[in-house]
Amino acid sequence: MKFTYRNIKTYLSVALMAGVLFSCSENKMDKINEDIDNPHNVDAKFILTDVITSTAFSNIGGDFNHYFASYTEQEVGVFNQLYNAEQRLAEVYTSSTFNNVWSNTYSTLKNARVVIDKCSETGEQPGNYTTKGIGEVLAALNAGLITDAFGDTPFTQAALPQLDNGKPQYMTPEIDSQKSIYEAIIGYLDAAIKDLPKGDTHATGGPGTQDILFNGNADSWLKLAYGLKARYTMHTINVAEDKTAALNTVLECVKKSFQSADEQAAFSIYDGVANLNPLFDFFYSREYTAASTSMAKKLQVRQDPRLHRVFADAIGADQTLGNGYYCKQLDGTEATFMSMMAPNGGSNLRQEQEYYNTSIFLMATTAPTYLMSYHELMFLKAEALVRLGSNDAEAALKEAVVAGILNTEKNVQNALNNTVVPVKANSTSALTAADAETYFDVHVKPLFDANPLQETMLQKYIALWGANGESTETYNDVRRLKAEGNDFYQLENPGKFPLRAPYGSDEVSANPNVNQAYGNGQYVFTEPVWWAGGTR
């Protein structure tokens, strides 16, 4: 339309009239741009669905898991950012590396706190104790992810429900000590243990199917709360005032937690089409990782039966599959066994995709993400008994090893059922409980007898390797054992070992408190977190 003085005048008249209408109908017109499909206030149970999903997929299964698997040499970074991390370049200390998961974990923690507030006595849904308890468990878990990765970090003034005007309560939250954050974690779990059995009495009702982890089953959440308390108590074993009492707390919590793998906290909504396991999703879209030499050596020296099942060749190497994989049948004796495993860092590592062998776990499209697994729980039990010098430690470790191997086989079967990228099975049989027991009796027991703690932790290291997002716990184990002077893992990367993750760039750029603590980021190589012997 050609604009003239006349039609401009007409538009001005219309605009003025609109202004009059707006002033006369303010209650209606001020909502004209409101998105009615994105409400600002919903029942706590509807928030839980998002908190559970983001905790599992983004926070446990995301960047923490990918990078920490490289740090602990369960996998090797062979391309782009993960190759740079493998070579200990800027990705290890720059604030942009973990910024996404920094934002995700804090956002998830905030939403968990909103659930708690809504179901508290002064909230909108008082009496929904089970829902509140679920929020407390999820708050503890996300707080643990945050402080285990970043150490001292904003907490008391961060991740709080927003003010009525939509602004954060604190624009530049102060940094809390990891020790105080751990006190809050245990406080959340103790509160959950009290709240969960009380039920939901408010008219809005309990979470039901909105709880996509346990379908509102308070007993299952209670077992998870006890399991997490065992985990976080073990994290702090080296700074405990009374180590014996702490270890006994671990054992008491284990007794009250999962009794089998059927009860573990498995986030299992992946369908292989619209919803993909985050490790497979990451690998399929980027192909940044390959099979680790040091991991393969650990399997080889133990004649571990998993060796036959857990490696695949580079994509396309088997021409009968086209763009697919072949599950290698390795027994550890052939001269070429290590030739196509990726070196752990150093100048011999090629930055190249589709060259080295890969872990078959990377093809497990629908494998669940564990908020906590049964085999992790059993390894916590075994470690506690070893440290206490109990004669029951060997039997506990055997139970843990068997559970871990059976979980590995589930991962393998999941990969072999991949409908996105074909994976061809080799001629070896699926691993069974009998295979696992024989392996323990013949190969693990002599190593356990020689050094009980070392073999317990190495078996846990192997068991937590897979498609279930458990590399973060391995990273925690490596660091706390380093603090004891126990270098059980014999990591081969010649570069400096990262002792923590750097703060996220969003906060480094906006919060002077975090900016000062971050500096140039080099502290990640020199300053352990508090529970690993550090001061911040």
User: pTM of this prediction?
Assistant: 0.91
Is the predicted pLDDT of residue 26 greater than 50, yes or no? no
- Average pLDDT of the residues in 396-424: 94
For the chain, what is the domain count? 2
Instruction: Give the model's confidence band at 7: pLDDT under 50 very low, under 70 low, under 90 confident, else very high.
Output: very low
pLDDT band (50, 70, 90) for residue 313: confident
Same domain, 112 and 255: yes
Has residue 4 been placed in a domain?
A: no
Per the model's pLDDT, the better-predicted residue between 438 and 29 turns out to be 438
> For residue 12, is it within any domain?
no
Convert the pLDDT of each residue in 332-380 to its tens digit: 566 566 788 999 999 999 999 989 999 999 999 999 999 999 999 999 9
Provide mean pLDDT across the span 298-326. 77
Measure CA of the first residue to CA of the last residue in the chain; give whole Å.
65
Per DSSP, the residues of 234-295 read HHTGGG-S-HHHHHHHHHHHHHTS-SSGGGSEEE----SSSS--HHHHHHHHH--EEEBHHH
Q: Specify the pairing of strand 325-326 against strand 423-424.
A: parallel
Q: Are residues 384 and 427 in the same domain?
A: yes
282/162 same-domain check: no
Same domain, 299 and 327: yes
- Predicted confidence at residue 366, as pLDDT, reads 96
195 and 293 in a common domain: no
Beta-bridge partner residues of 312: 327, 358
How many residues appear in the chain?
536
Whether pLDDT at 422 is above 90:
no
Residue 517 sits in a domain whose CATH number is 1.25.40.390
pLDDT band at 167 (very low <50, low <70, confident <90, very high): confident
The residue among 3 and 95 whose pLDDT is bigger is 95
Q: Of 49-63, 295-309, 463-477, which gets the smallest average pLDDT?
A: 295-309
Residue 123 belongs to a domain:
yes
Torsion from C-alpha of 235, 237, 239, 245, nearest 10 degrees? 130
DSSP state string for 376-432: HHHHHHHHHHHHHT-TTHHHHHHHHHHHHHHHHHHHHHHHHT-SSS-EE--SPPPP-
**223 plus 130 within the same structural domain:** yes
Asked whether residue 270 is domain-assigned, the answer is no
What is the full DSSP assignment across 346-385?
A: STT----TTSS-EEGGGG-TTPPEEEE-HHHHHHHHHHHH
Looking at the fold, whether 179 and 59 belong to one and the same domain comes out as yes
- The more confident residue out of 209 and 319 is 209
488-520: pLDDT as tens digits: 999 999 999 999 999 999 999 999 999 999 999
CA 320, distance to chain mean position in Å, is 36
The encoded tokens of residue 331 equal: 């027994």
Paired with 153 in beta bridges are 176
Question: Helix (H, G, I), strand (E, B), or coil: what is residue 220?
Answer: helix
Look up residue 264 and give its two tokens.
């573990």
Mean pLDDT of 38-46: 81
- 318 pLDDT band, cuts 50/70/90, is low
Residue 314 in any domain: the answer is: yes
On whether both 301 and 233 belong to a single domain, the answer is: no
Q: Which residues pair with 292 in a beta bridge?
A: 342
Residues 251 and 362 in one domain: no
Task: Tell me whether residue 134 is in a domain.
Answer: yes
- Which of the residue ranges 187-196, 419-428, 467-476, 524-533 would you say has the lowest mean pLDDT? 419-428
Residues 246 and 197 in one domain: yes
**Between the CA of residue 97 and those of 3, 245, 490, what are the distances in Å?**
51, 38, 26
